[in-house]
Amino acid sequence: MIFIGSIPDSILDSHWTYFTASDGYAKINSFAEDEGIEESQRNYFIRLRDNPDILKSIVVGRPHELKIEIEHYQTNIINEIALLSQYQSFLALGTFDQICERINRKAESFVGKVEVLRRKNEYRDTLVGLKTELNPALFPNPNAGAKIPINLLKSMFSALKGQFTESVKDFYSKIYTIFNYDALIEAKEPWGAYKLTNELNVNVCPYCNRNYINTSYNDHGKTRPELDHFFPKSKYPFLSISIYNLIPSCHICNSSLKGAKDFYLEPHLHPFMEFKNDDFQFEIKYREDVIEEIVADVDSFEIVVTTLTEDADLKTSINNSCKTFLIKELYNLHKDVAQELLFKSVYYNETKIHELKSILGDQAGIDDNFLKRVIIGTYADSRSIGKRSLSKYSYDIISKTDLKRTLDL
């Protein structure tokens, strides 16, 4: 989890220029004038057509502007279109895998059979209620007093998912046509996903700071980071190509860990928002039965994340991000790196560093910053932590040793 700064104006301008020249932009007016579209839905497109500043804030606005648009969508558009209100209630349930985690045998071992049964009843009633509003004939109502097997809930969930997909498809497809993510992905010159990630020049996943996500493309092949929708496009289709909603990230963070989790309802650290990289810190925590050693065995300690900010909302975002992206669990797989840094903090005392400088000599072309990077094994200042994997982790561990003072970090 690292802050990578605001997006430069030159990139914002290129993205906005791409959008205004797109087929999607041209569709806004045609949808706004199409009297064949239900009035409550057509009003959405009229608003976009008649308010260019709102449209621009959607496409290139900062994260707080995207939240404003989400709030408008939640409190106005959804209330005007009953179908969308029902769909939001369905999406709030999460995926069926997430539901299953709360009602399977493993859940029973944590909360007990009575609580799991209560949850099953609650899910059944919710699904039946949505079915009644959407399509009463969709599936037969299960008996209230009957046993509720997981497979029954799964079939009900799947039936509703298919029905909602079909019902909202027409309205959502029009929005997707305007804010066309597929077209952005396929576009090449002068602007598209590869140009965007190349210009952003984010080389390490900002969610985990573990995996490299470099962009490279030529006639022989191409590779780029995945673009995570910070606010899921399945729920907020109008943010499908919003530049501050497209986070360059690795496959593990984007697809395996985050998925379609809604970061609007559950706040997380946004890599382009104004938090500081020292709002939290990686630390070594020794086992209680271990006497702290200079260079500890990896089995004698664990890596923990400590929040350093007094801002309650920021603390919540940090904790949520740690939970979603398994920061503590994954970084405890890199305890050997912390161990090596502890060794370096002992080996590279002031005498050793002066000796190394004398060996290299004044004519070696190696300045103090490069020497620090060689000793630590990564960049030695907090502003460069996005350039190399595990940089924040390494910097934080070193910051707790004498080597920080010795190297004047």
pLDDT by residue (tens digit) across 138-178? 999 888 777 889 999 999 999 999 998 888 888 889 999 99
Range of 68-77, 367-376, 377-386 with top mean pLDDT = 68-77
What pLDDT score does 320 carry?
Answer: 95
Looking at per-residue confidence, does 148 or 25 come out higher?
Answer: 25
Whether pLDDT at 48 is above 90: yes
Distances (CA, A) of 289 to 285, 297, 339: 12, 13, 18
CA atoms of 270 and 2, how far apart (whole Å): 9
Strand 280-286 to 301-307 pairing: antiparallel
8 Å CB contact between 130 and 89: yes
Split at pLDDT 50, 70, 90, the class of 230 is: very high
Helical axes 113-134 vs 82-91, angle rounded to 10°: 160
What pLDDT score does 192 carry?
Answer: 92
What number is the average pLDDT over the span 118-127? 93
